[in-house]
Structure 1
Amino acid sequence: MVEQSVPWPTGTPNWVDLAADDTGAAAEFYTGLFGWDCEFQSERDYWICKLNGSDVGGIGHKQPGTEHLPSRWTTYLATDHLDQTLQAVTAHDGTQLMEPREIEFHGRMAIAADPTGAVFGLWQAADHIGTERTTDPGTLVWSEALSEDYETARQFYISVFGYRAEEIGGFETQYAALYAADKPVAGTGRLHPDFPAGTPPHWLPYFAADSTDRTIDQVTRTGGKLLGEPLDTDFGRLAVLADPEGARFAVIQLG
């Protein structure tokens, strides 16, 4: 288990939440899947999901300006200066989808898209640094931006967040690990050919799992889908899945 008590370095995925049409059904699905305890906050119309008392993610309705988009998981990237980061997003051909929003005492957030159309969030922490646990089953362990235009996406994220990108070979598609504070924190790559035709650019979050195969079985039994065959990698056995509303996520059984 890794615990975090201070704000994450700029560019690090520090929160993840689901934008869904039926938030109650989504909370029930992921509670059953990952063992989360999802608490509904009526004043925000938002579910905070916890694991053993620590915040690991959220579930809410689609943000203004993104209602037309399919249900999706949004990866939030840490920033110390939200407004400056949004200026960099638009300066490098990205799009601001939602005006900055103050979440009282917790921090400031915004939603944006890279030049390929992959949607991501920005979080400037105040009292709430974001996710606190990063290796236990049911927690976010990785996130990556996927599109057909790998070079454009790679250069965008380097320019906006100051990442160092390290190309990783041995895959069927181009891929790079993105480093912040000398640690690999996220990735960007070309959409895998096994993905269904028409898969749009997106950020794909990975959650740790006790067993990838058991998780696949549970997802398919409870209304979700397996997207492509599971893969055995140097990091562990992984699978890309969709929940009952079609939101994509991955699980990995860490080696």
Structure 2
Amino acid sequence: MADRTAPWPAGTPNWVDLAATDARAATRFYAGLFGWQCEHQDSRDYWICRVDGEDVGGIGGKHPGTEALPSRWTTYLATAHVDRTAAAITEAGGRVLLDPTDVSVHGRMAIATDPNDAIFGLWQATDHIGTGRRSEPGMLVWSEALSRGYDEAKAFYTKVFGYRVEEIGTTSDFGPGDQYADARYAALYAAGRPVAGTGEFHPDMPAETRAHWLPYFATADLDDTVTRAERTGGRLRGDPLDTDFGRMAVLTDPESAVFAVIQLSV
């Protein structure tokens, strides 16, 4: 979970945004949780959220046709050519939900799913490269694709983005906790560095849990962040976990969108 420099290598999570039913209320929740400054974009129902002037991510309403889907965080993966990557996604067994489209002068995007129906985005940067610094509190520091189709996910993302895969073993290798045992995990490398991960759900995960990309945001004090989330309508999913990278927890916001927070090891 080290800092990375821009422009991001293909396949690197370079943006994240929340599709919410009540985007304005969501900005208040996350601003209170992470100290984000969220600026409304007059041209659309979208807020850009920042830490000390550095872009962190976005919060907006749901895309047309996806209103019935649960509120969710979407991880965007860097690409030099959105249209070609969208075609590769279809060829590899995924689906394109939102065709490649220009976002003003900022870049070109698309929304897709992998073969397990985990939703993710593509971002081809022009004026806007995506997130800025990494590892500072409130910033996106990691993102991972989680599902019951671990082998299918590995094959798909490797084919589309050309990742090198490093098997880590099971998620219990990160630290203690029976709830994480027996779930395989791999780091995905681009340009010689780990940029993302993919793992499988524990067998005891509720059957209704959808495959998803889970973003991690850094925090200076995990326990305080969890407490503040719970006081403002969030919910803790499972006990916090000590890992080789730091102390982490998975939360849901008031609309049940899932995200993780981590207090990185010094």
Same fold (TM over 0.5): yes
Q: Report what 2:257 is aligned to.
A: 247
Q: Once the 2 structures are TM-superposed, how far is the Cα of residue 64 of structure 1 from its aligned partner?
A: 2.3
Name which of 221, 243, 247 aligns with 1:233. Answer: 243
Q: Once the 2 structures are TM-superposed, how far is the Cα of residue 192 of structure 1 from its aligned partner?
A: 3.3
Q: Report what 2:66 is aligned to.
A: 66
In structure 1, C-alpha distance between the alignment counterparts of 2:206 and 2:49, rounded to whole Å: 29
Q: Once the 2 structures are TM-superposed, how far is the Cα of residue 199 of structure 1 from its aligned partner?
A: 1.1
Tell me whether 1:216 sits opposite 2:242 in the alignment.
no
Q: Which moved more, 1:227-236 or 1:175-184?
A: 227-236
Contact 1:65 1:97 in 2 (8 A): no
Q: Once the 2 structures are TM-superposed, how far is the Cα of residue 65 of structure 1 from its aligned partner?
A: 3.1
In structure 1, C-alpha distance between the alignment counterparts of 2:13 and 2:204, rounded to whole Å: 25
Name which of 150, 165, 186 aligns with 1:176. Answer: 186
Kindly tell me: are residues 194 and 132 of structure 1, through their superposed partners in 2, closer, same or farther at Cα, counting changes over 3 Å?
farther
Contact 1:195 1:227 in 2 (8 A): no
Q: Report what 2:80 is aligned to.
A: 80
Q: Once the 2 structures are TM-superposed, how far is the Cα of residue 212 of structure 1 from its aligned partner?
A: 1.3
Q: Which amino acid letter does the alignment assign opposite residue 204 of structure 1? A: L
In structure 1, C-alpha distance between the alignment counterparts of 2:235 and 2:91, rounded to whole Å: 38
Tell me whether 1:118 sits opposite 2:118 in the alignment.
yes
Contact 1:64 1:98 in 2 (8 A): no
Deviations along 1:94-124, one digit per CA (max 9) or x if unpaired, are 0000011211110000000000000000000
In structure 2, C-alpha distance between the alignment counterparts of 1:234 and 1:194, rounded to whole Å: 24
Q: Give ranges in structure 2 of 5+ residues lacking alignment.
A: 173-180
Q: Which amino acid letter does the alignment assign opposite residue 180 of structure 1? A: A
In structure 1, C-alpha distance between the alignment counterparts of 2:59 and 2:191, rounded to whole Å: 29
Q: Give ranges in structure 1 of 5+ residues lacking alignment.
A: none
In structure 2, C-alpha distance between the alignment counterparts of 1:70 and 1:8, rounded to whole Å: 29
In structure 2, C-alpha distance between the alignment counterparts of 1:110 and 1:152, rounded to whole Å: 21
In structure 2, C-alpha distance between the alignment counterparts of 1:192 and 1:237, rounded to whole Å: 19
Q: Report what 1:34 is aligned to.
A: 34
Tell me whether 1:52 sits opposite 2:57 in the alignment.
no
Q: Secondary structure at the match of 1:67?
A: coil
In structure 1, C-alpha distance between the alignment counterparts of 2:26 and 2:69, rounded to whole Å: 17
Q: Once the 2 structures are TM-superposed, how far is the Cα of residue 160 of structure 1 from its aligned partner?
A: 0.3
Contact 1:196 1:227 in 2 (8 A): no
Q: Report what 1:92 is aligned to.
A: 92
Deviations along 1:205-238, one digit per CA (max 9) or x if unpaired, are 0000111111111111111111111111111110
Deviations along 1:16-37, one digit per CA (max 9) or x if unpaired, are 0000000110000000000000
Q: Report what 2:128 is aligned to.
A: 128
In structure 2, C-alpha distance between the alignment counterparts of 1:140 and 1:127, rounded to whole Å: 20
Q: Report what 1:137 is aligned to.
A: 137
Q: Once the 2 structures are TM-superposed, how far is the Cα of residue 2 of structure 1 from its aligned partner?
A: 4.5
In structure 2, C-alpha distance between the alignment counterparts of 1:66 and 1:125, rounded to whole Å: 24
Aligned residues: 254
In structure 1, C-alpha distance between the alignment counterparts of 2:201 and 2:13, rounded to whole Å: 20
Q: Secondary structure at the match of 2:255?
A: coil
Q: Which amino acid letter does the alignment assign opposite residue 41 of structure 1? A: Q
In structure 1, C-alpha distance between the alignment counterparts of 2:252 and 2:66, rounded to whole Å: 19
Give the TM-score, by structure 2 length. Answer: 0.92
In structure 2, C-alpha distance between the alignment counterparts of 1:182 and 1:2, rounded to whole Å: 14
Q: Secondary structure at the match of 1:213?
A: helix
Q: Once the 2 structures are TM-superposed, how far is the Cα of residue 195 of structure 1 from its aligned partner?
A: 4.4
Q: Report what 2:178 is aligned to.
A: none
Kindly tell me: are residues 211 and 196 of structure 1, through their superposed partners in 2, closer, same or farther at Cα, counting changes over 3 Å?
farther
Kindly tell me: are residues 233 and 3 of structure 1, through their superposed partners in 2, closer, same or farther at Cα, counting changes over 3 Å?
closer
